[in-house]
């Protein structure tokens, strides 16, 4: 027993070492992209990379500034966002409604699940010819394609989430005297929420992808239009800007979903702050 007192516990080393390394690590991570940009710029100026392949970084940033200042970028961005948000909202609404019907009732599952599964297997972009014939080539078709793409990830994930609720919790709820409505509200829906968020993430990604595609067919506004227009004039600088915008918005939306998750799923062990 007396030996125990001689043991010393070192508690500082791991965290201290990590702290010492954070700043240099961050700077190092920035160094290589900066070096690539610099090489790219030099190569462009030296004429090694022609502007029709890809524009120089300096040229891209000048064009970006022009687009921002003239308000053109914002205009296209808002058009794109509106399409994405409209399509996504409708898709999520349909997916959630369908999943609630099939998830919460056996009859609903029998009636609705197989048509949903059949529709799910059709790649939404393969519907373009049919949609154009039906709805023309206007705004409706564009939004409808986004709806088609975003409905099913929500549907599948939420349905699975509802069906995978721990039966023991449902049983506990029954012994506590919850009625059906309370069971759905207090047990099933909160339990299925994590799966809903998984579906929402997928849907957002798909809405973005569908946007890129639909905005290249017969449009006069939107980021996709900006890109295809730039293609016609061989403006590689504008194309790169469009790509940047897509990736930035993707990151932004992902961050938004993460924040929503953190708020809505505060009870999950990974989110609990102690």
Partner 1 sequence: MNAHSKIDFPAAVSLRGVVRQFGDNRVIDRLDLDIAPGEFVALLGASGSGKTTLLRSLAGLDPIEGGELLAPRARAAVFQEPRLMPWKRAWKNVTLGLRVANPRERAVQALTEVGLAHRLEAYPATLSGGESQRVALARSLVREPKLLLLDEPFAALDALTRIRMHRLIIDLWQRHTPAVLLVTHDVDEAILLADRIIVLQHGRIADALQVDLARPRDNGQAGFNAIRTRLLALLGVEKDDPESIGRDHNPFLAQGYPLNAIAI
Question: Measured from the CB atom, is 8 or 175 closer to partner 1?
Answer: 175
Say if CB 236 and CB 55 are below 8 A apart.
yes
Question: Measured from the CB atom, is 188 or 249 closer to partner 1?
Answer: 188
Q: Where are the alpha helices (DSSP H) in 137-184?
A: 139-163, 167-175, 180-183
Question: Measured from the CB atom, is 178 or 217 closer to partner 1?
Answer: 178
Distance of closest approach, residue 157 Cβ to partner 1, in angstroms: 17
99: which 2 tokens? Answer: 């999943």
| Cα 113 → chain centroid | 25
Question: Measured from the CB atom, is 14 or 167 closer to partner 1?
Answer: 167
Distance of closest approach, residue 155 Cβ to partner 1, in angstroms: 22
Say if CB 187 and CB 169 are below 8 A apart.
yes
Contacts to partner 1 by CB under 8 A: 168-169, 171-178, 182, 186-187, 190-191, 193, 265-269, 272, 274
Count of alpha carbons within 13 Å of 250, Cβ hemisphere only?
A: 15
Distance of closest approach, residue 272 Cβ to partner 1, in angstroms: 6
Question: Measured from the CB atom, is 28 or 172 closer to partner 1?
Answer: 172
Q: Is the backbone of residue 133 left (phi > 0), alpha (psi -120 to 50) or beta?
A: alpha
Q: Of 194, 179, 225, which is closest to residue 83 (Cα–Cα)? A: 225
Distance of closest approach, residue 26 Cβ to partner 1, in angstroms: 32
CA distance 250 to 226: 18
Distance of closest approach, residue 261 Cβ to partner 1, in angstroms: 13
Q: Which residue has the tokens 């800007």?
A: 241
């Amino acid at each position: 027993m007396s030996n125990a007192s001689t043991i010393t516990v070192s508690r500082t080393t791991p965290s201290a070492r990590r702290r010492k390394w954070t700043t240099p690590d961050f700077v190092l991570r920035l160094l290589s992209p900066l070096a690539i940009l610099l090489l790219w710029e030099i190569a462009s100026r030296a004429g090694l990379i022609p502007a029709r392949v890809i524009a120089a970084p300096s040229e891209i940033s000048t064009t970006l500034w022009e687009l921002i200042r003239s308000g053109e970028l914002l205009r296209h961005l808002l058009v794109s966002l509106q399409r994405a948000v409209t399509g996504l909202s409708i898709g999520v609404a349909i997916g959630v409604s369908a999943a609630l019907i099939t998830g919460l009732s056996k009859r609903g599952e029998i009636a609705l699940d197989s048509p949903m599964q059949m529709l799910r297997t059709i790649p939404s972009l393969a519907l373009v010819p049919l949609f154009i014939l039906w709805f023309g080539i206007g705004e409706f078709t564009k939004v409808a394609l986004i709806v088609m793409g975003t409905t099913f990830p929500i549907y599948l994930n939420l349905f699975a989430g509802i069906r995978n609720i721990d039966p023991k919790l449902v049983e506990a709820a029954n012994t506590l005297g919850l009625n059906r409505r309370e069971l759905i509200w207090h047990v099933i829906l909160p339990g299925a929420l994590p799966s809903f968020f998984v579906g929402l993430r997928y849907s957002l990604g798909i809405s973005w992808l569908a946007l890129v595609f639909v905005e290249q067919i017969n449009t006069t506004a939107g980021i996709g239009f900006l890109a295809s227009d730039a293609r016609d004039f061989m403006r590689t600088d504008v194309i790169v800007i469009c790509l940047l915008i897509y990736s930035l918005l993707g990151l932004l939306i992902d961050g938004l979903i993460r924040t929503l998750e953190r708020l809505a799923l505060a009870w999950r062990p990974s989110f609990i702050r102690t």
